[in-house]
Amino acid sequence: MIGCCILSPVNDTTVQLRQMAVDKTYQGQGIGNSLLEYAEQQAKQDSYGRLMMHARKEAVGFYERNGYMIDGDEFIEVDIPHYEMSKQL
């Protein structure tokens, strides 16, 4: 497996991106961008207007380059610094 992600409904208008990952060997080749684009298309197809996630601190730049904004202060989840981020679709 090269990459994966899960979309989990939060409510009628918001879906959460979870478990987004690309094998380190394949990072930097556009696979993460393609996965994220596909997830956004699926969310839109399912009538969600907002996609949000708990992004690891080290991944914030990736999501910002894809139009996501930080929605609050840094927090710790599974012993790793995260930020909640979201994008209107």
Domains in the chain, CATH or no CATH each: 3-88 (3.40.630.30)
What letter does residue 30 receive in the DSSP assignment? S
pTM metric for this prediction: 0.93
pLDDT digits (tens, 9 = 90+) for 23-76: 999 999 999 999 999 999 999 999 999 999 999 999 999 999 999 999 999 999
pLDDT score, position 69: 98
Q: Any long-range contacts for 72-81 (C-beta under 8 Å, 24+ apart)?
A: 80/56, 81/56, 81/57
